[in-house]
């Protein structure tokens, strides 16, 4: 992952040195269980804990073995010395790698969940602030009816909250490891030893394992991240639309000294939202890769391995960056109330069309005839007052109820209940 989009905590989690340290943690915990079960002599796990395996050592050894986990085991056994034969006893590479991956993914999900929770708090705060701010709603990008900015933000909140639930579920799905050997049949390691070891790591065991932790678990994690990224993209796309010159209702924050363009001094571009939209495309692509990784030969092949080395760390770095970026935008976005009111006024003849239609239907007038009449008058660009006057004359009805009523009723105390 390029430095521009790195998250510090995620980068640490997926740093090679932390990965090797996690491999060592799995080996140490496993040997500790062997000691407790009387399989291995006491004290070996303590020796494992006391030594370190440096990333550079693994890289150098891998030049010989062409196998990173085997290189790690060679170095660890050499440093532990007497009793080191119990290291990796009865295990295959995927026992260590996949169990470690589950730990790293869980830790990454915990970082993400905290960031998403922070985002939700910001969206909720802004929604409450703007719960009675009227704004013209748009469908197909075209004036529709009045709504509240608080409702729009509330809609975003609930979508992100559903994503939070999906991420939490994915965390449970990935909380599995395996220590059952080359094809998952417990040739050497017993299910009891596996369970006791994984319990210490706060993981559960794959009940019917192949050589690996099943990749549908990984796909669920990346898919959940992809859905979250797409939700961010929807919000970002709408923020970009609100900042268009001809709309100008909501703007991203613009710092002192910031430049919108190298050529045009007047520009304030929605670069944060555009950045979010762009990065979401990468993560959606990664979700396809994670689905492809489910399709492995027999008990496994390693066609998934090279892909996962890229898409897992990158997915977490990117989605955490996007979350932080969107949180800042929501917290600091500038609302142009004057322009919102101007757009409401410009849209008034259109935003009342359904109320006028409904009033005519209430007066017994044929719906299609009323619809066509209203449509023609609006297409001729009549004002709201002209529209209602013409309709009253054509159908001999009184539309004062429409003229004197609010198009929408202010939010009330139940507004807050909708966030639960």
pLDDT digits 0-9 by tens, 39-85: 999 999 999 999 999 999 999 999 999 999 999 999 999 999 999 99
Helix ranges (H only) for 93-148 are 93-129
- Bigger pLDDT: 107 vs 420: 107
- Read out DSSP for 1-14? --GGG--HHHHHHT
Q: Could you read off the pLDDT of 303-338 as tens digits, one per residue?
A: 999 999 999 999 999 999 999 999 999 999 999 999
Tell me, what's the pLDDT at 382? 82
Buried b (16+ CB within 10 A) or exposed e, 224-257: bbbbbbbbbbebbbebbebbeeebbbbbbebeee
The secondary structure of residue 390, as a DSSP letter, is: H
| Spatial distance between the Cα atoms of 168 and 160, rounded to a whole number of angstroms | 12
Residues 192-207: tens digit of each pLDDT: 999 999 999 999 999 9
Q: How many residues does the chain have?
A: 420
Q: Please identify every residue annotated as catalytic.
A: 140, 261
**pTM for the whole structure:** 0.93
């Amino acid at each position: 992952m390029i430095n521009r989009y790195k998250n510090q905590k995620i980068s640490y989690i997926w740093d090679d040195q932390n990965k090797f340290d996690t491999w060592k943690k799995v080996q140490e915990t496993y040997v500790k269980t062997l000691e407790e079960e009387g399989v291995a002599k006491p004290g070996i796990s303590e020796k494992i804990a006391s030594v370190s395996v440096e990333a550079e050592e693994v890289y150098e050894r891998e030049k010989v073995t062409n196998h990173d986990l085997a290189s790690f085991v060679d170095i660890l056994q050499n440093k532990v010395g007497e009793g080191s034969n119990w290291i990796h006893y009865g295990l295959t590479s995927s026992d260590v790698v996949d169990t470690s991956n589950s730990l790293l993914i869980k830790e990454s999900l915990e970082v993400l969940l905290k960031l998403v929770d922070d985002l939700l708090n910001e969206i909720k705060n802004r929604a409450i602030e703007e719960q009675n701010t009227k704004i013209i709603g748009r469908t197909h990008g075209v004036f529709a009816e009045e709504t509240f900015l608080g409702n729009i933000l509330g809609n975003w909140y609930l979508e992100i909250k559903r994503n939070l639930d999906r991420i939490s579920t994915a965390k449970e799905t990935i909380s599995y490891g395996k220590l059952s050997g080359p094809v998952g049949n417990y040739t050497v390691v017993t299910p009891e030893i596996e369970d006791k070891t994984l319990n210490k790591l706060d993981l559960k065991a794959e009940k019917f394992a192949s050589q690996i932790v099943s990749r549908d678990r990984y796909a669920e994690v990346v898919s959940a991240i992809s859905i979250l990224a797409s939700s961010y993209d929807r919000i970002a796309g709408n923020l970009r639309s609100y900042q268009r010159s001809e709309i100008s209702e909501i703007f991203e924050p613009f710092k002192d000294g910031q430049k919108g363009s190298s050529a045009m001094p007047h520009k304030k571009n929605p670069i944060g939202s555009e950045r979010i939209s762009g990065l979401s495309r990468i993560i959606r692509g990664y979700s396809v890769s994670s689905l492809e990784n489910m399709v492995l030969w027999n008990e496994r092949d390693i066609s998934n391995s090279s892909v996962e080395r890229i898409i897992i760390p990158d997915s977490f770095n990117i989605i955490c960056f996007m979350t932080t970026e969107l949180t800042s935008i929501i917290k600091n976005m500038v609302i142009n109330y004057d322009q919102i009111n101007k757009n409401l006024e410009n849209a008034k003849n259109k935003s009342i069309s359904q109320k006028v239609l409904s009033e005519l239907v209430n007066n017994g007038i044929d719906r299609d005839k009323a619809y066509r009449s209203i449509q023609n008058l609006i297409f001729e660009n009549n004002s709201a007052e002209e529209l209602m006057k013409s309709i009253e004359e054509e159908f001999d009805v009184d539309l004062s109820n429409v003229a004197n009523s609010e198009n929408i009723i202010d939010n009330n105390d139940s507004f807050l209940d909708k966030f639960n």
